[in-house]
Amino acid sequence: MDQPGYDYHIDIPGTTLFDGKMAMKGYALNKMCYSFNQQINREAFLADEEGYMARFGLNDEQKEAIRKRDVLGLIDAGGNIYYLAKFAGIFKLSVQDVGGLQTGKTTEEFQQYLASQA
């Protein structure tokens, strides 16, 4: 999709702006993660991950990133962090755990990094 240069098309290192392009790309993935707001859906996912992903129509890139619990891969595949947080919630991961996974740090190292900015 070619679009004129609105101000959201900017380069901030390490940051994927979740705009219309990404929202279209990640729609199925985000819709699945949105469903995890309900306990019954979290259980259905855990009972049959492949079937659950197929039901929501995830593409191969999205499925692979879900299988690998690859947070950066999920973001590349169009995932929005607010919905992905509900996926992470299934595994009781905190936002510091998720921060560590994305930055190559342990959770403790990530927490130290946060505190170092005080």
Per CB under 8 A, residues contacting other proteins are 6-8, 10, 12-20, 23, 27, 30-31, 33-34, 36-37, 39, 42, 71-72, 75, 80-87, 89-90, 94-96, 98-99, 102-103, 110-111, 113-115, 117-118
Least distance from other proteins to the Cβ atom of residue 52, Å? 14
3-state secondary structure of 56: helix
Least distance from other proteins to the Cβ atom of residue 29, Å? 11
Least distance from other proteins to the Cβ atom of residue 104, Å? 9
Q: DSSP letter string over 79-113? A: --HHHHHHHHHHTT--HHHHHHHHHT--HHHHHHH
